[in-house]
Amino acid sequence: MSVASGKQQSGIGSFIDMIRTVFIAVLIALLFRWFAFEPFNIPSGSMIPTLLVGDYLFVSKFSYGYSKYSAPLGFLDAEGRLFGDLPERGDVVVFKTPEDNSTDFIKRVIGLPGDHIQMRGGRLFINGERVERERIEDFAYQEGNRTRFVPQYIETLPNGRRHTIIEVGGDTAPYADDTHEYTVPEGHLFMMGDNRDNSNDSRFSVGYVPVANVLGRAERLFFSLDGASFLEFWKWPFAIRFSRIGDKID
């Protein structure tokens, strides 16, 4: 009887140890996601060529501190940010759209509080100065089964940050390439997509984005699929973009 009882107690102890290990592992994973890095995927082409449909990336939630939208379980109810830091011009960030404060968007920070932003003839102006850009090879832009080669540029922001953009409609796209001058309010940011003629951003319904709505900075790609969803694992051998995995997001 004592031997059987000892084995039973040993089995119960092993089961408890296993439950404890699983609980700790899950807790660590949740804390990592809540406070450090959260995964996101790209469902639309507004950030082409920097980000492609089917890219999966990590967003650092600690880069700019925590707000009521980025903090876990909504434990921050006040406006503003805890350990807050303003994004830099040129950062690619994920944020909650001001329209509903729930939909996640990803765009590039173009305007900081107090900046004057305008598009004139397809060129970006910041505080009255035209942003420099350099024409490079055309980008192979996929539209359904059709491939178009569209103008692609390296744009250099006033702080020296460089990134690529495309102009699918050239420099004369309606509404996107000629705008009035925007003045970014205090506590807000002006966002734009790198696919300048196909991006719903601060020029349109997104409007100015409160700093409190920023979830974090896009850091690095960890996976990328072309023409397949994450759950369609049987398509992975032909769909994975191996060359993009691990790329830093600039």
pLDDT digits (tens, 9 = 90+) for 113-126: 999 999 999 999 99
Nearest-angstrom CA–CA distance, 182 and 208:
9
Domain that holds residue 124: 12-244
Q: Please tell me the total count of domains within the chain.
A: 1
For residue 227, give the nearest of 242, 246, 243, 241 by alpha carbon: 241
Which pLDDT score, from 0 to 100, does residue 190 have? Answer: 98
| 190 falls within a domain | yes
Return the pLDDT at 207: 96
| Cβ contacts of 227 within 8 Å, gap of 6 or more | 54, 235, 239
CA distance linking residue 191 with residue 107, whole number of Å: 6
Query: Looking at residue 94, which CATH number applies to its domain?
Result: 2.10.109.10
| Ranges under pLDDT 70 in the chain | 1-11, 13, 15, 17-18, 21-36, 70-84
Q: In angstroms, rounded to a whole number, what is the distance separating the alpha carbons of residues 12 and 211? A: 51
- How confident is the model over 70-108, as pLDDT tens digits? 666 555 555 666 666 899 999 999 999 999 988 999 999
Per the listing, tokens 């966002």 go with: 191
Asked if 218 contacts 106 with a C-beta cutoff of 8 angstroms, the reply is yes
In a domain, 30, yes or no: yes
Q: Which residues are catalytic?
A: 46, 107
